[in-house]
Amino acid sequence: MTINPILTIIIYSWINRQGTEEWRCRAVLVATAERDKRMEYLSQIFNLKGKVAALTGAGGLLVGEMSRGLARAGVKIALLDNNLETIGCLREEIVQNGGEALALKVDVTQKTDFTTALHAILTAYGDVDILINGAGANAPTPFFDIPVEEWNAILAVQLTGTMLGCQVFGEYMVAKNKGSIINISSASAGPPLSKAFTYSVAKAGVKNLSQNLAREWATQGVRVNTIRPGFFPSEFMKKKFLTTERINAILTHTPMKRFGEASELAGAVLWLSSDAASFVTGAEITVDGGFTAMTI
């Protein structure tokens, strides 16, 4: 019998193609399995779904965006702020996007407000896992012109407010032997920036307080860290602080040559909130485009 060479080539090509397809399918299955393992691992250490976070200063630009980031990760959000209208709108936004949130009016200078808020959160969600202290106040008043009332008011919001939040929520977390507290520091915490005297003193205090509490609660399951944002201009900053000259000075000193976007703080917040940061306490996490890494 004569063998048709063309038919032979066709048959061999078909066999080889079938073999190639089989191995290709196997390779795809292996790659998919490896990808799933990696995703499962990331999900295990970064998983925040079902956790509960309370955030002071949630009506502001930065903490508002932190709230959105946590909500997207499946965290139940308690928005704490003195401006109930602003956080009410943010709550609606989070809920409309499939998240869970409640808005609570809190004056961070009043311990009773924190106690009331904690009770409301426990009633609604049954637990609190994460606290972010981000309520803020600032003023560009020249040093010789700072009235004592302004000095005390800024310290009360920035420093005393952080202390009271840590005191009330920290006591609850220590009792259950688990929790993550993130306090918001600043590029002005040291060395200080110009035009923000009282603010700088307060933020230096926030950093020191956080390190103190990190040491105190390290064996009690509660981690305390700070995030040190660089320049993320709010409307208030633009009006009160950012002259053309100051903008040029900031960007010249920032290797990335730009301001930060509030959403760029979310990664640090999610990490510090999760078990991926289980051995991280007393740390100051800088998110500033390289500002503090540069002299001249």
* Amino acid identity at 70: L
Indicate which residues carry an active-site annotation.
199
Same-domain check for residues 152 and 208:
yes
For residue 209, is it within any domain? yes
Residues 13 and 155 in one domain: no
**Side-chain-side CA neighbours of residue 57 (13 Å):** 23
Together in a domain, 74 and 115: yes
> Is 3 a residue whose pLDDT tops 80?
no
- Percent composition of the chain: helix, strand, coil (DSSP 3-state, to 5): 60, 15, 30
Q: What is the mean pLDDT of residues 276-292?
A: 96
Question: In the predicted model, is pLDDT for residue 5 greater than 70?
Answer: no
Are 98 and 240 contained in the same domain?
yes
Same domain, 150 and 110: yes
Instruction: For residue 195, name the pLDDT band (cuts at 50, 70, 90).
Output: confident
| Cα atoms in the 13 Å half-sphere on the side-chain side of 33 | 6
Its domain, for residue 106, covers: 50-291
Asked if the model's pLDDT at residue 17 lies above 80, the reply is no
SS3 117: helix
pTM: 0.86
Q: Are 14 and 89 part of one and the same domain? A: no
Cite the DSSP H helix spans in 126-189.
148-155, 161-176
Is 270 contained in some domain? yes
What tokens were used for 290? 């390289």
Residue 81 confidence (pLDDT) above 90: yes
Could you tell me if residue 20 is inside a domain? yes
Residues 176 and 205 reside in one and the same domain = yes
Q: Does some domain include residue 296?
A: no
The pLDDT confidence band at residue 172, using thresholds 50, 70 and 90, is very high
Place of tokens 């009410």: 88
Same domain, residue pair 40 and 57: no
The token duo for 78 is 């308690």
- Rounded to 10 degrees, the C-alpha dihedral 205/62/284/51 comes to 110
Split at pLDDT 50, 70, 90, the class of 173 is very high
88: exposed, middle or buried (Cβ count in 10 Å: 0-12, 13-18, 19+)? middle
Same domain membership, residue 111 and residue 8: no
Instruction: Compute the Cα dihedral for 277, 282, 287, 290 and give only its sign.
Output: negative
Distances from the Cα of 91 to the Cαs of 49, 200, 217, 235, 272, in angstroms?
A: 18, 31, 32, 21, 23
The CATH number that applies at residue 219 is 3.40.50.720
Distance (Å, rounded) from C-alpha 290 to C-alpha 253?
Answer: 8
Query: What does the DSSP 8-state code read for residue 187?
Result: T
d(C-alpha 221, C-alpha 136), whole Å:
27
Terminal C-alpha separation, the chain:
87
3 state SS of 212: helix
Which pLDDT does position 40 carry in this prediction?
Answer: 79
Structure confidence by residue, pLDDT tens digits, 233-257: 888 777 778 888 888 888 999 999 9
In the predicted structure, residue 28 carries a pLDDT above the cut 70: no
Rounded CA gap, 200 and 95, in Å? 36
Classify 222 as helix, strand or coil: strand
pLDDT score recorded for residue 16: 56
Residue 24, pLDDT above cutoff 70: no
Counted domains in the chain: 2
Q: How many C-beta atoms lie closer than 10 Å to residue 63's C-beta?
A: 27
Q: Are residues 27 and 164 in the same domain?
A: no
Domain co-membership, 61 together with 183: yes
- Based on the fold, state whether residues 58 and 41 are members of the same structural domain: no
Per-residue confidence at 22, pLDDT binned at 50, 70, 90? low
